[in-house]
């Protein structure tokens, strides 16, 4: 089964109206494709909300994928010493 959406693409759940950005994709052997979606906004108490996982059949695109460059690992110049 092919994936309907790309990473970093904005989507909306047609059932609940939840909107967010696709951060992860899981494709199962049965053909089911689920998307890990992160909300765009922080919670009211200033915390980063957890992702939710939804089936691709519930999602519609709200925008094209945005170009987010992944962080590159390795030593950081201002890392605390241990």
**Per-residue confidence band for 74, with pLDDT thresholds at 50, 70 and 90:** low
Within-domain flag for 40: yes
pLDDT of the residue at 41: 84
Within-domain flag for 14: yes
Within-domain flag for 69: no
Within-domain flag for 77: no
Within-domain flag for 53: yes
pLDDT of the residue at 43: 85
pLDDT in tens, 5-61: 999 999 999 999 999 999 999 999 998 999 999 998 888 898 888 899 999 999 999
Within-domain flag for 36: yes
Within-domain flag for 82: no
pLDDT at residue 68 greater than cutoff 60: no
Which residue range(s) make up the domain with 44?
Answer: 10-61
Query: How many domains are contained in the chain?
Result: 1
> Cα separation of 42 and 39, whole Å?
8
Between 49 and 81, the higher pLDDT residue: 49
């Amino acid at each position: 089964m092919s994936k309907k959406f790309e990473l970093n693409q904005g989507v909306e759940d047609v059932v609940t109206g939840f909107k967010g950005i696709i951060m992860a994709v899981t494709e199962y052997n049965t053909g089911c494709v689920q998307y890990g979606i992160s909300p765009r906004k922080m919670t009211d108490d200033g915390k980063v909300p957890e992702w939710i996982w939804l089936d691709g059949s519930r999602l519609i695109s709200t925008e094209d994928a945005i170009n987010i460059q992944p962080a590159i690992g390795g030593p950081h110049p201002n890392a605390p010493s241990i």
